[in-house]
Structure 1
Amino acid sequence: MGIFWKSKKSNAQVVVVTKYLDAEKTKEIWQEIGAHKEVWGLGENRVDALIQKNMPREKVHFIGNIQSRKIPEIVRHSSVVHSLQKVEHAEKFASTLHELEMGFFIQINISREPQKSGILPEDLGNFLEKIKPFELDIMGISAMGAGEFDADQKRREFRELVSLRDIYLPGKLISAGTSRDYEIALEEGIDVVRVGRGFFEE
């Protein structure tokens, strides 16, 4: 599978997005790929899918929009969140986790599109200060870039993410890149790519 070879070559990890698959198929896929060192986990974007599939918590990453009332279920069924963007959500996660371990990526609206979720790049420093009292395990930053793009635009987005990470969270990770642009992401030094349809179509 090309994605694994390319990720290994770039010293990156893959989150395999299984939001399009039912519970049975998701379990089959995990049995096939779970042993690959490059596979960090499975990505889901809906809380009801987390509950229905009921995969081992440590293997599951939540990549969807966060609703405050569903945070307890996100905590119960996943171990990494790629979409933290509100202070009130950080506070609720902190009060819900208790002894459970969970990693968080702060979602950046790197394309600055009003319809996109995430905080603006220039607000990252302030956001980090606001959530510091909650002592969450911040693993890095994440982003979903422009829906329509050319390669040069995508490279600029990835390079800005690398710059933001190096300024505010040196040594941490960047989660970005999808089935359509993961090769560019790997070339630009992105640490974690999230690949769904492109993976299953290989």
Structure 2
Amino acid sequence: MTLEAITTRLRAAEIRTGRAPGSVTLIAVSKVQPSERIDAVLAQGQRVFGENRVQEAQGRWPAFQARFEGISLHLIGPLQTNKARAAVSMFDAIHSVDRLKLAETIARLADDEGRCPDLFIQVNTGAEPQKAGVLPDELERLIASVRALSLPLKGLMCIPPADQDAAVHFRLLAALAARNGLEGLSMGMSDDFETAVELGATHVRVGSAIFGERVPPKE
């Protein structure tokens, strides 16, 4: 698969659902991808990228940003509070806010930095114990706390269980967002992004279908 093919499929999904072409943001997930693959995708015009780890992003994106204008970086992996300052400084959006302590830390750092990324709350729609994210029953309390901190909360994010129908979780996330007056829906990956678009996604996170299979870092 290529960036062009994914973009074509994304635009077709938008049209099928009566949405404006280009209204869904394609996040090219570049985590654990070799620099030459990222360089090639940048050369094709892609400017929105997703990373899982702050340290990995710090190690390579400044060089790309010096060569290409308009890059927007989204943190889609779990964020530890001790990495929050770097994340607030470097990323344009953080999709993995999942606890009050992290929100409070971001608010304090945003005051220090004079900027704050757009924020999405990650919801553990499958209640998987090994996965990050606030449980659906606890979501409204966290939303209220984030709003009380005057943070730029844009929407919700989820990663459905691998062994379940993703559409069920996309519908749940969309319902939770609507109930709480949130428009942003970060959902859908390489195997199911078209379904996510049909169910209201505003951001889709596509990695291997654009870059090829990930290359694990050498020990």
Could you say whether these structures have the same fold, taking a TM-score greater than 0.5 normalized by the shorter chain as the test?
Answer: yes
Q: Would you say 1:90 and 2:103 are equivalent positions? A: yes
Q: Would you say 1:173 and 2:184 are equivalent positions? A: yes
Out of 167, 181, 186, the residue aligned to residue 155 of structure 1 is: 167
Letter of the structure 2 residue corresponding to residue 80 of structure 1: A
Letter of the structure 2 residue corresponding to residue 144 of structure 1: I
Q: Would you say 1:115 and 2:130 are equivalent positions? A: yes
Paired position in structure 1 for 2:11: 8
Note if contact 1:104-1:137 (Cα within 8 Å) is conserved in structure 2. Answer: yes
Out of 196, 214, 218, the residue aligned to residue 185 of structure 1 is: 196
Residues 75-127 of structure 1, C-alpha deviations (whole Å, 9 max, x = no match): 12211000000111111111112311310000000112222210111211111
Report SS of the residue matched to 1:161. helix
Q: Structure 1 residues 139, 112: closer, same or farther in 2, change over 3 A? A: same
Q: Would you say 1:21 and 2:33 are equivalent positions? A: yes
Out of 51, 57, 63, the residue aligned to residue 58 of structure 2 is: 51
Tell me, in whole angstroms, the C-alpha distance in 2 between the residues paired with 1:27 and 1:60.
15
Paired position in structure 2 for 1:62: 75
Q: Structure 1 residues 25, 199: closer, same or farther in 2, change over 3 A? A: closer
Note if contact 1:45-1:65 (Cα within 8 Å) is conserved in structure 2. Answer: yes
Q: Which runs of 5+ in 2 are unaligned?
A: 15-22, 214-219
Tell me, in whole angstroms, the C-alpha distance in 1 between the residues paired with 2:82 and 2:173.
30
Note if contact 2:173-2:185 (Cα within 8 Å) is conserved in structure 1. Answer: yes
User: 1:201, CA displacement in angstroms?
Assistant: 4.2
Tell me, in whole angstroms, the C-alpha distance in 2 between the residues paired with 1:24 and 1:2.
19
Tell me, in whole angstroms, the C-alpha distance in 1 between the residues paired with 2:85 and 2:56.
14
Q: Which has the higher contact order (CA 8 A, sep 6+)?
A: 2
Paired position in structure 2 for 1:32: 44
TM-score (norm 2): 0.81
After superposing on structure 2, the runs of 4+ consecutive aligned residues of structure 1 that deviate more than 6 Å are none
Letter of the structure 1 residue corresponding to residue 95 of structure 2: H
Report SS of the residue matched to 1:14. strand
Out of 84, 90, 93, the residue aligned to residue 80 of structure 1 is: 93
Note if contact 1:50-1:74 (Cα within 8 Å) is conserved in structure 2. Answer: no
Tell me, in whole angstroms, the C-alpha distance in 1 between the residues paired with 2:198 and 2:144.
31
Out of 32, 42, 53, the residue aligned to residue 49 of structure 2 is: 42
Paired position in structure 1 for 2:19: none
Tell me, in whole angstroms, the C-alpha distance in 2 between the residues paired with 1:6 and 1:145.
21
CA RMSD of aligned residues (A): 2.0
Residues 56-80 of structure 1, C-alpha deviations (whole Å, 9 max, x = no match): 4961001111111111111122110
Paired position in structure 2 for 1:105: 120
Report SS of the residue matched to 1:33. coil
Letter of the structure 1 residue corresponding to residue 10 of structure 2: S
Note if contact 1:141-1:173 (Cα within 8 Å) is conserved in structure 2. Answer: yes
Paired position in structure 1 for 2:145: 130
